[in-house]
């Protein structure tokens, strides 16, 4: 895991809170992407997966509010705004990359599986690099405890997604999405480790490539 990023984000409660908010948004996006599966493909496993991600988002969000105590003051609000925009941009680019790589002749069932398998694998792998680091290195016991609990469920999700990929022969497709995610995550980390001054210089460029903080939604 990126050492520079973790040294930076674990250094004080305000950055921990901002990063937990980013993770909460990733969990919410993950749940939204699963929920986008058409009803005819809905299974008990998918239902449980979506429910787990929503619960993760909520528990992370509860900790964000705890560390902020009385709500975000201006400096904290600006930090969270910058990081949430970077996170939404990372998610948006991941989603559009996965969309572009669904074969044109895919049936509706394959379309859903290509997206679910690729996106879920990439995001679960990313979180399984982040949560173990938080479980070991976070200064706050609440963060270490929550990360430890989330790891157990993310492992189950990773097994489920890996099984789906193997059963459907989507290994090569999933590998491509994982490689794309690696590159996007590096860009995301770069923004999270920038100082506000450096970020301000990049603001114009950043604004033209992404506007707004709304999470990317998956639909068919």
Residue numbers of the site for Fe ion (CB under 5 A)?
27, 53, 56, 154, 157
Contact in structure between 34 and 49 (CB atoms under 8 Å) = yes
CB of 52 to Fe ion, least distance (A): 6
CA atoms within 13 A on the CB side of 47: 6
CB of 56 to Fe ion, least distance (A): 4
Q: Could you give the angle at which helices 108-137 and 171-193 cross, rounded to 10 degrees?
A: 40
Looking at the Cβ atoms of 19 and 199, the one nearer to Fe ion is 19
CA–CA separation, 19 vs 61, rounded Å?
Answer: 10
**Token pair listed for 55:** 């619960």
CB of 31 to Fe ion, least distance (A): 8
Looking at the Cβ atoms of 78 and 160, the one nearer to Fe ion is 160
Looking at the Cβ atoms of 82 and 157, the one nearer to Fe ion is 157
Q: Is 126 helix (H, G, I), strand (E, B) or coil?
A: helix
Q: Which H helix or E strand runs over 46?
A: helix 44-68
CB of 164 to Fe ion, least distance (A): 13
Looking at the Cβ atoms of 79 and 113, the one nearer to Fe ion is 113
């Amino acid at each position: 895991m990126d050492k520079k990023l973790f040294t930076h984000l674990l250094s004080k409660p305000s950055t921990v809170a901002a990063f937990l908010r980013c993770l909460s948004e990733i969990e919410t996006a993950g749940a939204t992407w699963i929920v986008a599966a058409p009803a005819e493909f809905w299974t008990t496993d998918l239902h449980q997966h979506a429910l787990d991600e929503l619960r993760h988002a909520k528990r992370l969000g509860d900790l964000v509010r705890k560390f902020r105590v009385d709500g975000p003051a201006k400096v904290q609000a600006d930090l969270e705004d910058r990081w949430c925009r970077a996170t939404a941009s990372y998610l948006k680019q991941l989603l559009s990359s996965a969309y572009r790589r669904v074969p044109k002749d895919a049936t509706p069932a394959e379309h859903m599986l290509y997206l679910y398998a690729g996106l879920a694998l990439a995001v679960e792998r990313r979180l399984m690099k982040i949560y173990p680091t938080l479980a070991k290195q976070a200064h706050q016991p609440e963060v270490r405890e929550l990360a430890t609990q989330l790891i157990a469920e993310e492992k189950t999700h990773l097994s489920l997604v890996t099984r789906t990929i193997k059963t459907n022969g989507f290994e090569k497709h999933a590998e491509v999405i994982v490689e794309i995610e690696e590159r996007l995550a590096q860009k995301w980390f770069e923004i999270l480790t920038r100082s506000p001054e450096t970020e301000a210089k990049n603001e114009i460029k950043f604004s033209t490539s992404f506007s707004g903080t709304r999470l990317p939604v998956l639909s068919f």
